[in-house]
Amino acid sequence: MLYLGLILVYTTALVCILQVLQHYRTAQSAIGWIIALLTLPYLALPLYLVFGRNRFEGYARARRKDDRKLDNLAFQLDQLIAPHRPLYQQPDSSKEVFETLARLPFTEHNRCTLLVNGNATIESMFNSILNAERYILTEFYIVRDDELGLQFKTLLMKKARSGVIVFFLYDDVGCAGLSSEYLRDLQEAGILVHPFGTLRSYLKRLQLNFRNHRKIVVTDGETGYVGGINIGDEYLDRTTRYAPWRDTHLKIEGPAVMGLQLSFLEDWHWATGYIPELPKPNLAPKYDEDQKALILATGPADELNYCELFFLQCINQAKSRLWIATPYFVPDIQIMSALQLASLRGVDVRILIPRKPDHKFIYYATYSYLAQADTAGIKIYRYEKGFMHQKVLLVDDTHGVVGTANLDNRSMKLNFEVSAIVHDKSFVAELTQVLVRDFSASNTLPASQYELRSLPFKLLCRAARLLAPIL
Interatomic CA distance for residues 220 and 466, integer angstroms: 45
Q: Which of 215, 251, 356, 399 is an active site residue?
A: 215
DSSP assignment of 134-170 equals: SEEEEEES-B-SSHHHHHHHHHHHHHHHTT-EEEEEE
Please say if 396 is a catalytic residue: yes
Identity at 38, one-letter amino acid code = L
CB atoms within 10 A of CB 135: 19
Whole-angstrom Cα distance, residue 351 to residue 388? 12
Say which of 237, 379, 396, 458 is annotated catalytic: 396
Q: In the annotation, is 215 catalytic?
A: yes
Catalytic residue among 159, 269, 389, 423: 389
Helix H segments across 189-244?
199-205
Neighbouring CB atoms inside 10 A of 376's CB total 16
For residue 468, the 8-state DSSP code is: G
Which residue in 66, 220, 267, 302 is the catalytic one?
Answer: 220
CA-wise closest residue to 253 among 278, 297, 221: 221
Q: Which residue, among 51, 248, 245, 267, has the nearest Cα to 171 in the 3D structure?
A: 267
CB of 450 within 8 A of CB of 389?
Answer: no
153, 159, 213, 399: the catalytic one is 213
The closest alpha carbon to 24, from 54, 57, 45, belongs to 54
Given 292, 391, 413, 423, the catalytic residue? 391
Beta bridge partners of 327: none
CA distance 255 to 283: 6
Spatial CB neighbours of 175, under 8 Å, sequence gap ≥ 6: 140, 141, 142, 143, 195
Question: Using CA atoms in the order 277, 282, 288, 290, what is the torsion angle rounded to 10 degrees?
Answer: 50
Bridge partners for 325 per DSSP: 352, 392
Residue 304 makes CB contacts below 8 A (sequence gap 6+) with none
Q: Which residues are CB-contacts of 104 (< 8 A; sequence separation ≥ 6)?
A: 77, 81, 259, 262, 294, 295
CB 385 within 8 A of CB 265: no
The residues that are catalytic are 213, 215, 220, 389, 391, 396
